[in-house]
Amino acid sequence: MKNRGKSDLKLAWVLLFPSVFLVLLLVAYPMISNIKISFFDLPINPRLDATFVGLKNYTDILTDVEFIKSLGITVLYMILAVAGSTALGLAVAIFFNRPFKFRKAARSLIILSYVTPSISLVFAWKYMFNNGYGVINHLGVDVFHLFDKAPLWFDNPVSSFILVVLFAIWRYFPYAFISFLAILQTVDSSLYEAAEIDGASTWEKFKNVTIPAIMPVLITIITLRSIWLFYMFTDVYLLTNKVNIIGIYLYETAFAFNDLGKAASISVILFIILSIVIIASRKRVKFNGNG
């Protein structure tokens, strides 16, 4: 039995080795290398020596007003986009959690914004809001006369921020929709019938039956979407240059100002922030699961 146990252990290590090696190569090594770089002033030219600066990169970043401002914009963007996409996804999932004609076709149309490549969606939005020939300005100026002249939507920081938030809500609500619809279809309909017999209103049925049933999925969706949007870069960068979220700030620090040490320290700080959020959310999910 002992020999068999040892042979099984060896076989397990042999089978696990490729996965463990890839994790170490693609995750652990870059992470350790990034932490190391954050303590150096690293020149772009590989022939020049890096200068050890200790915690200077971290202190410079944490005292940089632009970093704090960028972090605040990112948090606000993340909160609004996550709240909007989650609420919209839940509302649409509740509406679709019943039989009606052409339901399958309607579901396919809803998830189009999620499966379509971002580059196509971004340029479609930029086309719609173009001040010269965009359909939004045509409707606002020529049809409904809401504006005296076509607004420069993506040239104004406030309107740009509103549009990138709306884009994120529309782009990512299908993920919440799919997740909520899957969990809603597992809820026993007799619970709603019992609540209705007790005289519960629509809001009371939603609060006492629907919310407890979807709570683990809700927390998971909020956590994952918050992580993804916290690191958002592509959508905002392609839409406008007026919304300096943390992903763009990090990109410019590394590749516009060629300050790789500060860029590495930014990524480490963000990793610490997200680690705290993930640990807290995991405890919350476990608490709700046990409850």
Residue 85 belongs to some domain of the structure: yes
Residue 14 belongs to some domain of the structure: no
Instruction: Report pTM.
Output: 0.86
Question: How does residue 106 score in pLDDT terms, banded at 50, 70 and 90?
Answer: confident
Per-residue burial over 135-146, b if 16 or more Cβ lie within 10 Å, else e, is ebbeebbeeeee
Residue 105 belongs to some domain of the structure: yes
The pLDDT tens digits of the residues spanning 108-129 come to: 888 888 888 888 899 899 889 9
pLDDT higher than threshold 70 for residue 3: no
List the domain range (segments joined by +) for residue 100.
58-290
Query: Element (H or E) spanning 163, and its range?
Result: helix 157-184
Residues 6+ apart with CB under 8 A from 107: 96
pLDDT higher than threshold 60 for residue 2: no
* pLDDT score for 107: 81
Q: Do 221 and 285 touch, CB atoms closer than 8 A?
A: no
49 closest CA partner among 58, 57, 40: 40
Residue 45 belongs to some domain of the structure: no
* pLDDT score for 69: 95
Residue 29 belongs to some domain of the structure: no
pLDDT higher than threshold 60 for residue 288: no
The count of structural domains within the chain is: 1
CATH number, position 83:
1.10.3720.10
The pLDDT tens digits of the residues spanning 133-176 come to: 888 888 888 888 888 888 888 889 999 999 999 999 999 999 99
Residue 28 belongs to some domain of the structure: no
The pLDDT tens digits of the residues spanning 230-251 come to: 989 999 999 998 999 999 999 9
Residue 26 belongs to some domain of the structure: no
- Written in H, E and C, the secondary structure of 226-284 is HHHHHCCCHHHHHHCCCCCCHHHHHHHHHHHCCCHHHHHHHHHHHHHHHHHHHHHHHHH
Hey, what's the torsion of the CAs at 156, 256, 234, 281, to 10 degrees? -100
pLDDT higher than threshold 50 for residue 291: no
Cα gap 238→232, rounded to integer Å: 11
The pLDDT tens digits of the residues spanning 42-77 come to: 888 778 888 899 899 999 999 999 999 999 999 999
Q: Do 248 and 254 touch, CB atoms closer than 8 A?
A: no
Cα gap 178→196, rounded to integer Å: 26
Amino acid letter for position 10: K
Residue 13 belongs to some domain of the structure: no
115 closest CA partner among 64, 178, 163: 178
Question: How does residue 6 score in pLDDT terms, banded at 50, 70 and 90?
Answer: low
